[in-house]
Chains A and B, each alone.
Chain A
Amino acid sequence: MEYLLDGWGITLATFSPLVGVAIMLLIPREREDQHRMVALVTSLWVAFVGLLLLFWFDLDATGRLQYVVDEMWIDVIRSRYMVGIDGMSLPLILLTMLIVPLCIIYSWDHFPEPRNPKAFLILILILETGMIGTFVAQDMVLFFVFFEIVLLPMFFMIAVWGGPNRRYASLKFFLFTLFGSALMLVSFLALFFLTGAESFVFAEIADNVLSHGVSRTAQLWIFGGMFLGFGIKVPMFPFHTWLPDAHTEAPTVGSVILAAVLLKLGTYGFIRVAIPILPEAAVEWAPWIGLLAVVGIIYGALGCLAQTDMKRLIAFSSVAHMGFVMLAIATLTDFGINAAIMGMVAHGLITGMLFFLAGSIKERYHTLEISRLGGLLVQAPRMGWIFGICAMASLGLPGLAGFWGEFPAILSAYSPANGLPVETFRTFMVIAALGTVLAAGYLLWLLQRVAFGSPPDEFAENPDIVDVTRHEWLAWAPILAFIVAIGIYPNLVFRVTDGAVDASLNTCLKVNVVELSAAEIEALGCADVYDIGGGDEHAAVGG
């Protein structure tokens, strides 16, 4: 078993959805039941493989890539099929494998117009391949291909099953992210040529960056390209405007996948690719990333307060929440990046859940206009409760998952990595803490308007408004369970990520420049990271 997993486990998990797609292509469109079954079985099978991978995953060596497969893929451009899982990717892979079957269950008997379950489910499965693939890829070209595979199904999902303004939203989503991807590709190619690497494998490129002395300017530019590519995906302020439109127009399941997993491709790119490979540029860029992150936190929160549409509000809250994640990443400390991964998982679960709820509310009330809603707790008490729990989780209440993404992120900003401006980051910390107040503001305000009070007259006698249905329970219960479980015992995530984050960070980011002399830093090969000229006597940088 272990042997099989070692050789085939990841490949199986990544491409099984495509097998499901192939089967579904053979089934005529009218047989909706069969399509649903095939899609569900496929996604459950993928989740099962994921569990096997988790079971045999060596938790004492999370920093080591496991189940590695390394084969030549496209010889002519020296791209390799190299995949592997470590503690940084495992939580996100499992998150993907959890969300996809739940989305299929949720849409079981209410596909958005114009229905066509066959096409809809095929797109979801293709998405799954793309998402898992991105998280397991260890080669730049492979990573890029998976990163892009994700785009098309989501584009079609919004463009075909979306709301009234779907054409504009889908095209904006597609072009915006594609623009970022193009710059990211530029960076990847530049890295490959400048380092003279033998392949596109991350580890090799990272080693070569250090040994081949890629000039500082080049590194900064290359990092900039990646920053745009990943930052748009996150999305960071000011590249976020595609997100509210995409979310507002996307069908429920599309929003859920978008929020739960797709946004994480961006943040994951930072911690998997950009920072480990270009630590020197990361140190230069970090204060600016931190700045944009805290601007995003406050700005996103203010955007939320101005919304009149529930779904758009939740979308804007993603900007704020991903701001916390990016702030944690910008500290470049292992503590911060752990917090960031926790933040990604928590945001995936909580915001995914909020979008599910928004979808279900829309289905019952046929509107998401906040001013028209009210009294959800009276008409659908269980749903109101779930909404309350999710709002609390989203505002970072301890005991629920959101807190462990938010508080450690703020904490980590107090003490950023060596070489980063401490005072600046402490200011960021205070601003981020202010963001938690605003988050409580918009979420509780939303909760009050939607759940409390008495139902408005237009919906008071509406028989459509029923409490949580069986399919909804099936789809939501696992998410809620994880929100609570991680909230009570955060080590479920931290245990996995901690070692891997530590291993991923360049040693130079972890040395204490304050305590070491210039010569010692030079000996460690970290002089460049802190921009210390060779032979310079004083080592004082940042500190």
Chain B
Amino acid sequence: MSEKLQKLLDTQGWILTDGATGTNLFNMGLEAGEAPEMWNDWHPDRIAKLYQGAVDAGSDMFLTNSFGGNAARLKLHNAQSRARELSRIAAEIGREVADKAGREVIVAGSMGPTGDIMLPVGTLSHADAVEIFEEQATGLMEGGADVLWVETISAPEEYAAAAEAIGNIGAPWCGTMSFDTAGRTMMGVTSNGMVEMINGMDNKPFAFGANCGVGASDLLRTILGMAAANPDRPLIAKGNAGIPKYVDGHIHYNGTPELMADYAVLARDCGASFIGGCCGTMPEHLAAMRKSLEATQKGDKPDLAVIAERMGGFSSEDDGTAGKPAETRTRRRRRD
């Protein structure tokens, strides 16, 4: 439960999470378009291997293979009736790997977005979203997850629905959003906006932060923005291993283990205490990150220039934390 997370934070000061799930599974032969969650049933050995890779590289925690394991996503594979079961198996395999690790390793039950846009703009109702998340959360906890891990969310409404669903079953949780649009989420949430959102929630996560998004530099800028808003709980930084590049017909993330090792140290300096990777982050990256985190002490907060110098430039000039740019259009009138 979240005591385990707190204990690790107290003794170590930071927690190294895992890296990529998709990138690793594709390397094991997952076909594009196939639901990775089906492998929990078909190839449990490969899923155990995926988890083991993170454990062996020194991760304190890994996410279960259940990112798309909610009924809304599984529906695209005609497996909507298996959301609870596939999530449960994902956690069961994880539990087994973690219990054999010989040290404290936390199993975090991954819960990705529904992929639907919520009312009033889209079609998904709050009640339906809560039901979808609750079903998956129940399966993950049944399978032995220590904590639930909501990730890659872009809409505040969806984050709230997940929080409510998890609250309904009384499980501990963490939750990150993906800031991929000029420093905001696709739905326009800024880093400091997320802190404000968390402050106003009933069922607050144990920790929150950012995952995926653009590159390592953007993600660190997001963490800086969150830290500057004085959050009252730990921050999570799970960034991609650089940016995908197209080389000879294949996609490579340009982030080297060395870059990710430096990213990990910077993430801690920025104020994150859960540090890990996302897309493109392989065991060799994680091992390098662990090594650099252990070899150094937390330093001063870097400024944006330092981040740009060490991680590369940002995808956009500003990230909206200074407030929305002044509206230059003259409105004819205001409406409610």
A and B: real partners? Answer: no
Q: Give the interface of B toward A (CB within 8 A).
A: none
Q: Give the interface of A toward B (CB within 8 A).
A: none
